């Protein structure tokens, strides 16, 4: 597939994904408004459940589809056309990319729910305090798990750790490693381990730059990195040694 | 005409890119001016004295501008379908391969007015004596260098990093 076709297909699929998500939420919103205005009856409840679950599965299919039907871009092997790779002398590579977005999304909730739990204890309602404590613990767990992503480069493999996810990529399987721009929301619909519009597996943390690894058997990874040039230099130096 | 770009890529760029436009931008920001001064060889101390601000503030502004420049160059490369081979943020220059143009190399450069310029390697495609003259002229003009007009993109990158 030519690169122009790749770009066009990716953009088309991006639009489909976003329209599906917005459409789903608009449908739910419309239904909520309708049921609020009219009296609640059994038929409406069944309709609502069908909408929620049916829509959820539809969205799931839309999100997972690129993984099974990836859009392959032309792969050019490292150093094939032009070689400007910089020297990488260290034996290993280590990088930690923080997910700052999570600080704003979880820390306020953790504090609020802890405060509420303490207030409830003083008011004597232990069951409510317990609920608030559990919710706070849930947010705390998410924060601790996804606060940062780690990329560790060893002699013959790259290890990516992000929360409960861990991926080992053998360096001799990598055909090409190149710096790339990352649009976390537009292409990957969020952060964490994600499936991109073109079917790439993305480890997306808090930066808009990263490295795209093209592997044998048309598998591709996109890793967020604050220093893509250094990571590329490491991969290429290990490949050659 | 400062930008060498083929019609198909140009149409794609206009249709799909959300990162930049080819029109001149407004006045460069202070951050950009500090960064541009350092790329011309000025030290952070000199800039802080000249602007009467702390050295930490200059350092922070330059670091932030470097991230912006990197994101902008990579976004631009992705939008026009360029596979990135090499870049230097401190120089505002990126070299990549364009598969849709028979793997022709491409140079993306941030000029002194904060505009993104795209040049495609003309070597072997034109009968000109100096195929990359336009790109080299812009680089020389912006970075106050004296690169020879005969150079290819790879040699430009090597000469600039050795500078």
Q: Are residues A183 and A216 in the same domain?
A: yes
- B→A interface, C-beta within 8 Å: 8-9, 12, 16, 70-71, 74-75, 77-78, 81, 83-87, 95, 97-100, 103, 105, 153-154, 157-158
Residue pair A215/A174 in contact by the 8 Å Cβ criterion: yes
Say what the pLDDT of residue B18 is.
Answer: 41
Task: Determine, for residues B100 and A4 on separate chains, whether the beta-carbon distance falls below 8 Å.
Answer: yes
Domain range holding A229?
Answer: 166-240
Q: Total structural domains in chain A?
A: 3
d(CA B24, CA B36): 17
Residue A160 covered by a domain: no
Of B71, B81, B153, which has the smallest distance from its Cβ to A209's Cβ? Answer: B71
Task: Determine, for residues B84 and A179 on separate chains, whether the beta-carbon distance falls below 8 Å.
Answer: yes
Q: Total structural domains in chain B?
A: 1
Assembly ipTM: 0.87
d(CA B32, CA B25): 12
Of A6, A81, A180, which has the smallest distance from its Cβ to B97's Cβ? Answer: A81
Residue B22 covered by a domain: no
Q: Token pair for residue A79?
A: 């150093």
Task: Determine, for residues B87 and A179 on separate chains, whether the beta-carbon distance falls below 8 Å.
Answer: yes
Residue pair B61/B73 in contact by the 8 Å Cβ criterion: no
- What letter does residue A201 receive in the DSSP assignment? E
Q: Are residues A7 and A63 in the same domain?
A: yes
Q: Token pair for residue B2?
A: 């400062």
Say what the pLDDT of residue A40 is.
Answer: 65
Best residue in B17, B66, B70, B88 to probe A by mutation, most A CBs within 10 Å? B70
pLDDT (tens digit, 0 to 9) for every residue of chain B, 163 residues total?
345 555 555 555 544 444 444 445 567 888 999 999 999 999 999 999 988 899 999 999 999 999 999 999 999 998 888 999 999 999 999 999 988 888 888 999 998 888 888 888 876 665 566 778 888 888 999 999 888 888 888 888 888 888 7
d(CA B93, CA A84): 13
Q: Are residues A122 and A178 in the same domain?
A: no
Say what the pLDDT of residue A8 is.
Answer: 86
Residue B21 covered by a domain: no
Task: Provide CB contacts within 8 A for A111, sequence distance 6+.
Answer: none
Residue pair B84/B142 in contact by the 8 Å Cβ criterion: no
Say what the pLDDT of residue B6 is.
Answer: 55
Say what the pLDDT of residue B9 is.
Answer: 58
Contacting residues of A for B95, CB less than 8 Å apart:
82, 84
Residue with tokens 């793997």: B103
Of A8, A84, A180, which has the smallest distance from its Cβ to B86's Cβ? Answer: A84
CATH number at residue A233: 2.40.50
The residue of chain B nearest to residue A4, with distances taken between CA atoms, is: B100
Residue B73 covered by a domain: yes
Domain range holding B133?
Answer: 7-15+27-162
Cβ of residue A179 closer than 8 Å to a chain B Cβ: yes
Beta bridge partners of A161: A150, A166
The residue of chain A nearest to residue B97, with distances taken between CA atoms, is: A81
Say what the pLDDT of residue A124 is.
Answer: 86
Last residue of a domain, one of A20, A52, A68: A68
Of A7, A83, A209, which has the smallest distance from its Cβ to B12's Cβ? Answer: A7
Contacting residues of A for B12, CB less than 8 Å apart:
4, 7-8
pLDDT (tens digit, 0 to 9) for every residue of chain A, 241 residues total?
677 788 889 989 999 999 999 988 888 888 888 777 777 677 777 877 888 888 888 888 888 999 999 998 888 888 888 888 888 888 899 999 999 888 888 999 999 999 999 999 998 888 989 999 999 999 999 999 999 999 999 989 999 999 899 999 999 999 999 999 999 998 999 999 999 999 999 999 989 999 999 998 778 999 999 999 999 999 999 987 7
């Amino acid at each position: 597939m030519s690169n122009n076709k790749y770009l066009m297909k990716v953009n088309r699929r991006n639009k489909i994904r976003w329209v599906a998500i917005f459409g789903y939420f608009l449908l739910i919103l419309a239904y909520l408004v309708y049921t609020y205005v009219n009296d609640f009856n059994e038929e409406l409840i069944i309709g609502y459940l069908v909408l929620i679950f049916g829509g959820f599965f539809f969205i799931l299919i839309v999100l997972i589809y690129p993984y099974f039907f990836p859009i392959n871009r032309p792969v050019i092997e490292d150093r094939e056309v032009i070689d400007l790779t910089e020297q990488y002398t260290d034996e290993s590579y280590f990088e930690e990319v923080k997910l700052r977005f999570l600080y704003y999304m979880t820390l306020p909730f953790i504090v609020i729910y802890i405060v509420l739990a303490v207030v409830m204890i003083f008011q004597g309602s232990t069951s409510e305090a317990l609920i608030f404590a559990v919710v706070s613990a849930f947010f705390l767990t998410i924060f601790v798990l996804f606060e940062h992503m780690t990329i560790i480069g060893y002699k013959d493999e790259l290890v990516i750790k992000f929360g409960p996810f861990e991926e080992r990529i053998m360096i001799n399987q990598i055909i090409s490693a190149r710096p790339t721009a990352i649009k976390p929301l537009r292409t990957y619909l969020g952060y964490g381990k994600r499936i991109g519009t073109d079917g790439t597996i993305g480890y997306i943390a808090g930066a808009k730059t990263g490295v795209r690894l093209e592997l044998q058997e048309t598998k591709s990874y996109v890793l967020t990195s604050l220093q893509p040039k250094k990571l590329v230099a490491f991969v290429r130096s290990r490949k050659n040694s | 005409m400062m930008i060498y770009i083929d019609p198909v890529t140009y149409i794609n760029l206009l249709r799909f890119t959300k990162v930049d436009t080819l029109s001149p931008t407004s006045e460069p920001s202070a951050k950009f001016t500090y960064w541009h001064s350092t790329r011309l060889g000025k030290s952070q101390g000199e800039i802080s004295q000249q602007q009467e601000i702390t050295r930490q503030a200059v350092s922070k502004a330059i670091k932030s501008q470097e991230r912006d420049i990197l994101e902008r160059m990579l976004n631009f490369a992705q939008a026009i379908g360029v596979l990135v081979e090499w870049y230097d943020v401190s120089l505002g220059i990126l070299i990549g391969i364009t598969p849709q143009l028979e793997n022709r190399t491409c140079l993306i450069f941030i000029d002194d007015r904060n505009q993104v310029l795209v040049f495609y390697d003309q070597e072997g495609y034109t009968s000109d004596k100096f195929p990359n003259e336009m790109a080299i002229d812009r680089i020389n003009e912006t970075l106050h260098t004296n690169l020879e007009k005969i150079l290819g993109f790879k040699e430009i990158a090597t000469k600039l990093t050795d500078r």
